[in-house]
A = this chain, B = another copy of it.
């Protein structure tokens, strides 16, 4: 199939060389280069949403002044101070009171995740996760030789009682969560759960890693406070990961972490060894962009663009899937999570979908341990509503052909 074997995506649990395993999501990205394929796989923001003029101006500004020369030089590992101030201001505005000193700029939030894994996890350490969870996080944990243990939950997210049991039983090093519009499920942890989870974790001095790349992409309902701003301990044991990838542009590779002082210096040392610092030019351009463009207005435009795309996908699902299929109904973010009826393996279905020029990600690699192979992830942000409808119709032609369980 176009030279890429997609029939058997590597699971993060199986490591072909050393402690590393490939990502089927990343491998699938190669497919999106074929214009005939409608790919619901990659989790790509809409390219037409990018503020190309704004970013061209921001880079020009960063490289124009006398300061231009300094952003070509080595910089501090923690990041550009102006950018850290602007990010801290932005987090504070969203209810998470933050000072510039508390922020470390990273090469995408993927790097923040890798730094947290390097710093908190030694081989054999236990990481608690929701099930299913972000694939590339599972890969990071596997590369550190950690043991990943899922915590039971439901449509409101991880169950606080089950979390406390797991903490006592497993003595974990950290709890990893995408509390808002999770990848891959699109689910959001309810306010009551946030409070309960923050308090349970604080009582046991457990590190929470709150991964929040999608939180600003809300299409309905009321914004919830970040987990890092929740509970009596108010984030004293929470490392918050932010990103410009979904609200500005992923090609920038600009993310950040907000961490208590007790762990921050260790994270900075890990970053020194990892890449010394993030591109000083991109950081200066981002500072110029945040200072001179209206990112809030841009995010409002993004939400206006993505909301009907979400609706188009949800509207197409009943027709495109066999009876008994279930799916999530996200209030924001980028993903819908689908569970087919019966014991079908969606990895085996994918080649048939690709023959119809449509792609998705099979669900198994998002599981720690025993996967539900009848699941799949669909992203609704890359295409307009018409193309989504067309892609879902192609997908339906495959899924409706599946033999139903006798």
Given A17-B266, A282-B279, A282-B281, A111-B72 contact (CB < 8 Å): no
Shortest distance from the beta carbon of A109 to any chain B beta carbon, whole Å: 9
Q: How far is the CA of A136 from the CA of B21 in the complex (A)?
A: 26
Is A276 within 8 A of B69, CB to CB?
A: no
Is A20 within 8 A of B50, CB to CB?
A: no
One of A55-63, A92-100, A186-194, A215-223 contacting the partner? A55-63
Is B42 within 8 A of A69, CB to CB?
A: no
Is B73 within 8 A of A270, CB to CB?
A: no
Q: How far is the CA of A251 from the CA of B44 in the complex (A)?
A: 27
Is A110 within 8 A of B60, CB to CB?
A: no
Is A74 within 8 A of B282, CB to CB?
A: no
Contact of A44 among B74, B270, B275 (CB under 8 A): B74
**Chain A residue total in the interface (Cβ 8 A):** 70
Q: Does A26 touch B at the CB level, under 8 Å?
A: yes
Q: How far is the CA of A16 from the CA of B74 in the complex (A)?
A: 25
Q: How far is the CA of A29 from the CA of B276 in the complex (A)?
A: 12
Shortest distance from the beta carbon of A78 to any chain B beta carbon, whole Å: 10
Contact of A72 among B71, B139, B251, B273 (CB under 8 A): B251
Is B272 within 8 A of A73, CB to CB?
A: no
Where chain A touches its partner, the secondary structure class is helix
Closest Cβ neighbor of A29 among chain B residues: B74
Q: How far is the CA of A16 from the CA of B270 in the complex (A)?
A: 12
Which residues of B have CB within 8 Å of A30?
76
Contact of A69 among B20, B47, B74, B277 (CB under 8 A): B47
Contact of A110 among B71, B122, B143, B276 (CB under 8 A): B276
Is B279 within 8 A of A251, CB to CB?
A: yes
Each complex incorporates copies of this chain amounting to 2
Which residues of B have CB within 8 Å of A183?
none
Q: Does A90 touch B at the CB level, under 8 Å?
A: no
Q: Does A278 touch B at the CB level, under 8 Å?
A: yes
Which residues of B have CB within 8 Å of A77?
26
Contact of A47 among B21, B72, B107, B282 (CB under 8 A): B72
Q: Does A119 touch B at the CB level, under 8 Å?
A: yes
Q: How far is the CA of A136 from the CA of B274 in the complex (A)?
A: 10
Is B281 within 8 A of A73, CB to CB?
A: no
Shortest distance from the beta carbon of A24 to any chain B beta carbon, whole Å: 11
Is A253 within 8 A of B269, CB to CB?
A: no
Is B52 within 8 A of A63, CB to CB?
A: yes
Known contacts A18-B266, A26-B272, A75-B251; 14 additional CB pairs below 8 A are A17-B265, A20-B266, A26-B276, A29-B76, A47-B69, A50-B73, A56-B60, A74-B251, A110-B273, A110-B274, A136-B273, A251-B280, A252-B279, A252-B281
